[in-house]
Amino acid sequence: MSHHDVHQPALLDEVRGNVLILTLNRPDKLNALDSGLVDALHAAIDVYENRPDVHAVVLTGAGGKAFAAGADIAQLRDRRAADALRGINSLLFDRIARFPCPVIAAIRGYALGGGCELALACDLRVAGESARFGQPETGLGIMAAAGATWRLPALVGLGLARELLFTGRILDAEEALHVGMVNQVVPDDEVLDTAVGMAEMISANDPMATRMTKLALAQYEGDTAAMTRFANATQAALFENPEKFRRMDTFLARRRK
């Protein structure tokens, strides 16, 4: 099937033994999180979150270029305060973070902006050598409002989280491993197998004990609901700011050249 086929599903799902594999399937759009893909992920969670035979999940992106790109900048440019307050990505990423069993991100290529926050919402991350992580939002006049302001410090500490969120600089796979952002780095062609292998190791343990352990670990995050409300409210103000439109217009004009 060519990627121009309108019937190609945005999300592929496959259960192998006790492991669910979800594949973001918009490779021609770098698996950008548009409304169709967000809806498809919600639908998959609806189907699988109460399946007792699913003991671990692997989330990956089709094609080698990207795990997931954030929202399309042209779409983001047109989003207003009301859109920020709906918390489209934060609601989805919270559901992924709260999925009853562990979720492992298998990452090749870019995981930037919302794509990086999606990887952070997973429990574990296996990166290929091509993986690139970053939160470039402030350069576009907005902020990383879908979890990076608390999930990133929980992984790498406040000092580095501040640096990454303020500068927007991009980390390669080796640096991401060194700072604790990812659990493992392997050659690109081994990423999925490594993540599935890790999921199978998890699946061999008692699923109820694993689920309870995940619930207990969630207590560490503190009051993320309040953090989400704050992030959405501040993002709403930024979405209306003239500087956001100026920066996004500049970005879009550069890309068209």
Q: Which residues are catalytic?
A: 117, 137
- Give the burial class of 80: count Cβ atoms within 10 A of its Cβ; 0-12 exposed, 13-18 middle, 19 or more buried: exposed
Compute how many other C-beta atoms are within 10 angstroms of the C-beta atom of residue 118: 27
Report how far residue 198's alpha carbon sits from residue 102's, in angstroms, rounded to the nearest whole number: 10
> Which tokens hold the place of 21?
């594999």
Report how far residue 108's alpha carbon sits from residue 178's, in angstroms, rounded to the nearest whole number: 17
157 φψ region: left (φ > 0), alpha (ψ -120 to 50), beta (else): left
> Which tokens hold the place of 60?
């990956």
Q: How far is CA 184 from CA 78, 128, 212, 240, in A?
A: 37, 8, 24, 39
Edge-to-edge strand ranges of the sheet holding 19-24: 11-16, 19-24, 56-61, 103-107, 124-128, 184-186
Residue with tokens 């409210």: 233
Compute how many other C-beta atoms are within 10 angstroms of the C-beta atom of residue 154: 16
The count of residues in the chain is: 257
